[in-house]
Amino acid sequence: MSILITNIKELVQVRETNVTIVKGEDMKHLPTIKNAYLFIDHDTIVEFGNMKDLVGIEADETIDATGKTVLPTWCDSHTHIVYAGDRTQEFVDRINGLSYENIANRGGGILNSAENLQNASEDELYNQASKRLTEVIKLGTGAIEIKSGYGLTVEAELKMLRVIKRLKKDFPIKVKPTLLAAHAIPKEFKNNKDGFIDLVVNELIPAVAEEHLADYIDVFCEKGYFDLEDTQRVLETGTKHGLTPKIHVNQFNAFGGVALGVKHNALSVDHLEELNPEDIDTLKQSNTIPVALPGCSYFLSIPYTPARQLIDAGLPLALATDYNPGSTPSGNMNFVVSAACIKMKMTPEEAINAATINGAYAMDVSNMYGSICRGKKANIIITKAIPSYHYLVYAFGDNHIDTVIINGQQY
């Protein structure tokens, strides 16, 4: 099965060579071809160029994209889409003035999600997560990372990761699983955090590695949750079992989590709403990519990751949703890209680079995803007729997507 897309108003994120990350100043450049064609054979991007150079290509199907923009699908490198139920009641309570602490004391927060998850069957979890995954693919996501972390027991974490494994098998998009081993301190370990870390390093990580259920190891490194010492123990054990660190740091406090991640060759350090100059210096000496989650800042009304500081220092930056029931109940990458421009002063070019190539880098799949490049996976978005790709970012909140193609097939 081959598809030829013709008369594309603008083909966006076109790369002649297989660029796998864009940093600093280079993020301002988003190569495009106006009045373009794109040829897909089976699941692969085979050829593209200007319409005037289109000769001798015959395809099984032709799509006329007059007035429409074509770009690679979004690469969402940070989500928690496997969860049970929702936390709408807490959302309303917060609007009515209850603090996060009040809510936690009433049994809310991550512990609430954990209880729901522990009580849900694997099939129930799978069905709920499938719906969310289907929706985000329709919104243009073509590669996604999914974390565990609401289990808080060995058994429930394994259940979550098995659900992710099923999603990975059943859905056509790229799915990368992460063991978020230390997300919150379970009630049973309220006064025995070390006991919980012992359980994580002695039982949970080895069990997950044994079943090959995760590629990455994650920790919520934050005051009141897991400190540098806890994080170090989890990352060391994870690395020993072949898992690459990819961690939550600096959401509310900057106290050295970035340096610890870099020391353990983390693929990414995510959140970074709080950042100090040492963090930037450390990242400059590394291959670790910072990941910003503007949907979370929006929902919680907390500061946004200082994207300008990071990019102006020459660093790369990726954008992801953080889709989760507590702090970001949305998996819409289109909104994330808009929010990055509106709230973080990223240019549309920077934001699109951050949500495609760099998002793919943050999942270690940028050799096959994240750009329109010969030989890469044919995962693309065809927009409705819009004036330009700037409009996609500018007219936020509307769905500008007409068609999503995953592995060369219309989804």
By CB under 5 A, name the binding residues for Zn ion.
322
Residue 75 Cβ vs Zn ion, minimum distance, rounded to whole Å: 16
Pick between residue 94 and residue 183 the one whose CB is nearest to Zn ion.
183
Residue 163 Cβ vs Zn ion, minimum distance, rounded to whole Å: 17
Pick between residue 272 and residue 406 the one whose CB is nearest to Zn ion.
272
Pick between residue 148 and residue 366 the one whose CB is nearest to Zn ion.
148
d(CA 382, CA 403): 5
Pick between residue 10 and residue 322 the one whose CB is nearest to Zn ion.
322
DSSP codes of every residue in 123-172: HHHHHHHHHHHHHHHHTTEEEEEEE--S--SHHHHHHHHHHHHHHHHHSS
Pick between residue 100 and residue 411 the one whose CB is nearest to Zn ion.
100
Residue 231 Cβ vs Zn ion, minimum distance, rounded to whole Å: 15
Residue 4 Cβ vs Zn ion, minimum distance, rounded to whole Å: 40
Pick between residue 76 and residue 322 the one whose CB is nearest to Zn ion.
322
Residue 258 Cβ vs Zn ion, minimum distance, rounded to whole Å: 16
Distance of CA 43 to the CA centre of its chain: 22
Residues 6+ apart with CB under 8 A from 356: 13, 71, 72, 73, 74, 75, 370, 371
Pick between residue 36 and residue 340 the one whose CB is nearest to Zn ion.
340
- Indicate the residue type of 105: N
Long-range contacts of 154-157 (CB under 8 A, 24+ apart): 154/199, 154/203, 154/204, 154/207, 156/114, 156/117, 156/118, 157/181, 157/204, 157/208
Residue 283 Cβ vs Zn ion, minimum distance, rounded to whole Å: 19
Residue nearest to Zn ion (CB): 322
For residue 105, the tally of other CB atoms under 10 A from its CB is: 11
d(CA 305, CA 273): 4
Pick between residue 27 and residue 269 the one whose CB is nearest to Zn ion.
269
For residue 122, the tally of other CB atoms under 10 A from its CB is: 13
Residue 273 Cβ vs Zn ion, minimum distance, rounded to whole Å: 12
Residue 16 Cβ vs Zn ion, minimum distance, rounded to whole Å: 35
Pick between residue 72 and residue 331 the one whose CB is nearest to Zn ion.
331
Residues 6+ apart with CB under 8 A from 258: 249, 250, 269, 272, 275, 279, 282, 283
Residue 248 Cβ vs Zn ion, minimum distance, rounded to whole Å: 6
d(CA 249, CA 251): 6
Residue 322 Cβ vs Zn ion, minimum distance, rounded to whole Å: 5
Using an 8 Å Cβ cutoff, are 76 and 331 in contact?
yes
Going by C-alpha positions, the residue among 411, 410, 407, 409 that lies closest to residue 43 is 407
Pick between residue 149 and residue 348 the one whose CB is nearest to Zn ion.
149
Going by C-alpha positions, the residue among 285, 347, 345 that lies closest to residue 315 is 285
d(CA 324, CA 387): 33
Residue 46 Cβ vs Zn ion, minimum distance, rounded to whole Å: 37
Going by C-alpha positions, the residue among 335, 333, 269, 283 that lies closest to residue 311 is 283
Going by C-alpha positions, the residue among 399, 372, 375 that lies closest to residue 5 is 372
Pick between residue 59 and residue 300 the one whose CB is nearest to Zn ion.
300
How many residues are given for the chain?
Answer: 411
Q: State both tokens at 255.
A: 């106290």
Q: Angle at the Cα of 72 (from 69 to 73), degrees rounded to 5?
A: 110
